[in-house]
Structure 1
Amino acid sequence: MTVRLSIRSYSLVMRAHLHTYHQLVLPLHGNITMTLPGYSGKVGPGQCVVIRAEMMHEFKADEKCRFLVADLDNLPESMQQLPRPVFATSPELVAYCQFLELQLTQSAQPGLIESMSALFYHLLQNQVIPACRDGRISEAVRFLNEDISRTPSLGELAVRACLSLSQFKTLFKQHMGMTTGQYLLTQRMTKAKALLAHSDLPVSLIAERVGFTDVSAFSRRFSVYWGETPRQIRQR
């Protein structure tokens, strides 16, 4: 098993190519527009696009955006029969990708990179991929992940998914295994925990970045979700 990890940026000029290895693209900051067999659209934070070896694909992204890219000789078994090449990543994988960004942008030792790559692949093997075959729900997920500090209404999400409100709520729960509120809370708490553990940002700013205007309300919700206070996470 060989995994080559890197942090990359692209340009707004649409490019197309293929390669002899498999590739995963996981947005960290911003979206990437992808066109490949089975998918055409934007992929944002909290999602992963799987590009198989020898698969022609087109892509573009704002130069300010950043992506974790994994080149693989072998795909994990769970990713070999995907109904669609884009899926929502688990909170554990999201948090680890954020950690990898910090490590890979510094002068990491080769042995450390090898260990981090092995753990990354292990998390991929344990990734439970939601069987979301409905592009309308995927669009809503992409919009939620685009900026987790905002709280769009169910009506707004339903319009983006081109569904009635009742259809949207039913299909979202069916495909994602949770409500939109539960999904957004998971993304927010995962992001907050990663920032607390791997950055020196003030708690007030972290709270703001994950959609809380009141620090006390953020701390209470965080403590209930993780069973630890923000201070305890930071003091580890």
Structure 2
Amino acid sequence: MAGHLVLKKADFFASAAQPVAVADRYPQNIFAEHTHDFCELVLVWRGNGLHVLNDRPYRITCGDLFYIRAEDRHSYESVNGLVLHNIIYCPERLKLNVDWNDLLHSARAAGEDPRWRLSSHGMAQARQIIGQLEHESVKTDALSVCLTESLFLQLCILLRRHRYQSQDATGPDSSETLDLLMAALGKSLDSAFELAQFCQRHQVAERHLRQLFRQQTGMSISQYLRQLRICQAQDLLRHSELLIGDIATRCGFEDSNYFSVVFTKETGMTPRMWRQRYTLHLSNC
């Protein structure tokens, strides 16, 4: 897509030799679609927002992890107290004898969700490494450049060890209740989610879990699940020829009229208008 913003490495790195830099977003504001001439890791600490990656919307919140390639197009929309770190890096500047491509870009099937989640335990460890990385990456001496890459390698290994896909309830450290809840919600896009049953199964107080979820994400559990379903509906409307009623069913709405009401409230346009918007855009390209 022509005309989008391209972020340049010269504006972010301490020197032409430094391979990694840390850009904290406290908070992350709305940011128009852009690409980079570098790559980045995006790790969300708190709040929520709409992350649009290569035309696909994702409702993101604490623990979400994205690996962004230089050529990927992405933007941030409708943010709500969204706090994240961008760990940006130049692959051509990495010198350690490591298979970086395998470590950072595991093979994914076409259309597979590129989002990972980082376990609560992994997030706590990542914070410490990122703090060190942020301190060293602004220096330009040879030892700091070397240490920066070493810390980046530690971070990448940590992320690989503690990450899991949002639909996977068997990932590392899945004993954490919030991790289990996120996994359960990720698997409930096309079916009902019973919070009371979840709390009984995992022996956690429902009120406490609701409070914890809102504290970490800035949303209620039902709001988050609804946003996940709307994001999936947006993607299906844009990239499939399914009937709107079938999309409603796939996104957990038994009534297509109710789906249309919710979709319109969340996006500002009806499902039909949303689909036509992109159909017209493609026909004019």
Give the alignment's TM-score, normalised by structure 2: 0.42
Normalised TM-score (structure 1):
0.50
